[in-house]
Amino acid sequence: YEPFISSVERRSSSTIVVSWSDATRGRYLDQVWRAGYARAAGFCGLTGIPVRRGDVVFRPLLRGGVAPVNAFDMILADRVPGAAVER
């Protein structure tokens, strides 16, 4: 199953708020994602475009040392309107 992202809102230049759901992994409403660098190759959850290791991406923020089920999902930063994250 592919995750479905129903909304992305910019909170600051380095954070976004994402509403995300997946038929098998659950649902997050208003989950905070932080900018960083891709640690591994993958795919952008918003566009499906390939992500290369080192690309600037947004990833779910860890809270209280607990990784959410979508901890390894990524959104390419240059695909988020108004997110001026530089490399």
Predicted confidence band at 58 (pLDDT cuts at 50, 70, 90)? very high
Work out the mean pLDDT of the chain and round it to a whole number. Answer: 88
Predicted confidence band at 86 (pLDDT cuts at 50, 70, 90)? low
Q: Supply the Cα-derived Rg of the chain in whole angstroms.
A: 12
Percent of the chain whose pLDDT exceeds 90: 53
- pLDDT tens digit sequence for 18-49: 999 988 888 989 999 999 999 999 999 989 99
Select the more confidently predicted residue: 26 or 83. 26
40 burial level (CB within 10 Å; 0-12, 13-18, 19+): exposed
Return d(Cα 83, Cα 22) in angstroms, integer.
24
Q: What per-residue confidence (pLDDT) applies to 71? A: 92
As beta bridge partners, residue 35 has 58
